[in-house]
């Protein structure tokens, strides 16, 4: 396929890793990256090594409420890297400060084939509101997110007509789970004439720890029974560290509100209520606390009940399982976009049809 230029919104853990992993993907050229302080744009291709080195360092404490998403409204984003007197992307010699980094990217949209939204979804409508800004800016291309919340899918579906009119191909939930594991479930379901259940069980070991994954850990804590998006958003770093200490660094999640359920239902694989997602997060170890597994149970054409199981190698890192698939789906989205297919797609819809 032809070369693909792309932008990354957000340079926290996911955004930085996406830039790094992109260097190992054929025909992908990162041309823009931004955070709440500034923007780096170079249509000859960003110097990823310089950008990552410049932004290496401490992360701002806690979420910030100063990223404009529409008409002055604000949304919370992950704290960004700091370097000396400069913060985040503006520490790079390729970048400049900006009062509205997202608008900078939109204004250069004609040279950007795809945009990866590497922004934590601390507010349910945050990703949809960012999409609205691209619609208002007459962007035509591909948008990819790695969101986790089921309820956001409906908000994006409400914008299907607008995406189609604008020429936008939006792929939602395109990381690990949802994303890679959703696609694996869709593939495993092909053995059956009826799917009875889908069980996704993940294990993540954060070798770089909480300091380098604040947004990811905060989002996951919102899935614990005692918390939700609003209460997790308001937690201080000290409170999150106390929660981690209370669990000895290993936190187990059950029956999570993960978008896999809606994404599998909209692809016709099974009912959302038949999907269950859980997992274990180890914030202090390189090793995965459990093997990531997708199990699909169903009835075959000859009346037998069976379970197809897909496992990820324990050696694969979170960055490999999130950013590798996200960039792969990004390339798939560009192919669809160039073929004139616009609207909202989930990862399971890019797999064989059930």
108 is catalytic: no
Structural domain count, the chain: 2
Give DSSP secondary structure letters for 265-279.
Answer: HHTTSS-GGGEEEEE
Q: 265 an active-site residue? A: no
Q: Are residues 294 and 336 in the same domain?
A: no
DSSP code string of 178-203: TBHHHHHHHHHGGG-SEEEEEEEEEE
154 and 12 in a common domain:
yes
What CA–CA distance (Å, rounded) separates 9 from 1? Answer: 24
The pLDDT value given to residue 122: 60
| pTM of the predicted protein model | 0.88
Q: Which of 129, 57, 68, 119 is nearest to 98 (CA)?
A: 68
Q: Among all chains, which residue has been given the structure tokens 């609003």?
A: 230
Is the domain of 138 the same as that of 199? no
- Helices (H), ranges, 137-279: 151-157, 160-166, 180-188, 214-221, 229-233, 237-246, 260-266
Output the domain CATH number for residue 44. Answer: 3.40.50.720
Task: Please provide residue 118's backbone torsions phi and psi, each rounded to the nearest 5 degrees.
Answer: -100, 55
Same domain assignment for residues 19 and 159: yes
147 and 213 in a single domain? The answer is no
- Residues 133, 215, single domain; the answer is no
305-311 and 343-345 strand pairing: unpaired
Tens-of-pLDDT digits for all 354 residues of the chain? 589 999 999 988 889 989 999 999 889 999 999 998 899 999 999 999 999 988 876 344 344 444 444 433 333 334 444 544 567 889 899 999 999 999 999 999 999 999 999 986 666 788 999 999 999 999 999 999 987 788 889 999 999 999 999 999 999 999 999 999 999 999 999 999 999 999 999 999 886 666 667 777 888 898 899 998 888 888 998 999 899 999 999 999 999 988 999 999 999 999 999 999 999 999 988 789 999 999 999 999 999 999 999 999 999 988 889 999 999 999 999 999 999 999 999 999 988 776
How would you list the strands of the sheet with 38-41, edge to edge?
Answer: 95-97, 38-41, 28-34, 4-9, 114-117, 142-145, 169-171, 343-345
Regarding whether 333 and 280 lie in a shared domain, the answer is no
Options 37, 87, 123, 219, the catalytic residue: 219
Answer yes or no: do 187 and 237 share one domain: yes
Interatomic CA distance for residues 116 and 275, integer angstroms: 26
145 and 207 both lie in a single domain: no
Q: Which of 37, 81, 87, 223 is catalytic?
A: 223
Same domain, 163 and 215: no
Residue 309 shares a structural domain with residue 334 = no
Catalytic residue from among 37, 81, 148, 258: 148
* Residues 42, 175: Cα–Cα separation, whole Å: 26
User: Which stretch of DSSP H or E encloses residue 211?
Assistant: none
* 223 has catalytic annotation: yes
Per-residue pLDDT tens digits for 210-252: 666 777 788 889 889 999 888 888 899 899 989 999 999 999 9
CA distance 324 to 21: 7
282, 257: one domain: yes
Nearest to 109 by CA among 51, 206, 211, 31: 31
Quote the domain boundaries for residue 136.
Answer: 4-177+319-350
């Amino acid at each position: 396929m032809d070369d693909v230029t792309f932008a990354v919104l957000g340079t926290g853990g996911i955004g930085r890793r996406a830039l790094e992993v992109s260097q190992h993907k054929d025909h992908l050229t990162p041309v823009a990256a931004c955070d709440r302080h500034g923007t780096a744009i170079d249509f000859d291709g960003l110097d990823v090594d310089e950008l990552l080195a410049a932004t290496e360092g401490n992360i701002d404490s806690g979420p910030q409420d100063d990223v404009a998403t529409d008409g002055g409204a604000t949304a919370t984003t992950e704290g960004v890297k700091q370097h000396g007197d400069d913060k985040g992307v503006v520490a790079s010699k390729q970048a400049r400060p900006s009062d509205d980094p997202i608008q900078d990217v939109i204004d250069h949209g004609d040279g950007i084939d795809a945009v990866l939204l590497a922004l934590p979804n601390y507010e349910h409508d945050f990703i949809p509101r960012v999409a609205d800004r691209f619609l208002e800016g007459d962007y035509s291309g591909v948008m990819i997110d790695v969101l986790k919340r089921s309820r956001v899918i409906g908000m994006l579906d409400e914008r299907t007509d607008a995406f189609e009119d604008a020429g936008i191909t939006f792929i939602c939930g395109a990381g690990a789970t949802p994303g890679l594991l959703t696609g694996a479930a869709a593939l495993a379901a092909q053995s059956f004439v009826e799917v009875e259940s889908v069980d996704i069980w993940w294990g993540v070991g954060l070798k770089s720890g909480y300091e380098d994954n604040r947004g990811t850990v905060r989002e996951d804590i919102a899935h614990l029974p005692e918390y939700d998006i609003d209460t997790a958003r308001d937690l201080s770093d000290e409170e999150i560290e106390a929660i981690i200490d209370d669990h000895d660094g290993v936190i187990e999640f059950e029956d999570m509100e993960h978008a896999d359920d809606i994404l599998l239902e909209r692809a016709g694989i099974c009912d959302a209520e038949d999907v269950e997602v859980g997992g274990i997060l180890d914030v202090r170890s390189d090793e995965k606390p459990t093997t990531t597994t997708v199990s699909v149970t169903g009835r075959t054409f000859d009346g037998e009940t069976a379970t197809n199981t897909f496992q990820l190698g324990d050696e694969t890192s979170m960055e490999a399982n999130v950013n590798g698939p996200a960039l792969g789906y990004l390339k798939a989205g560009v192919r669809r976009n160039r073929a004139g297919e616009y609207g909202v797609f989930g990862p399971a819809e890019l797999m064989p049809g059930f």
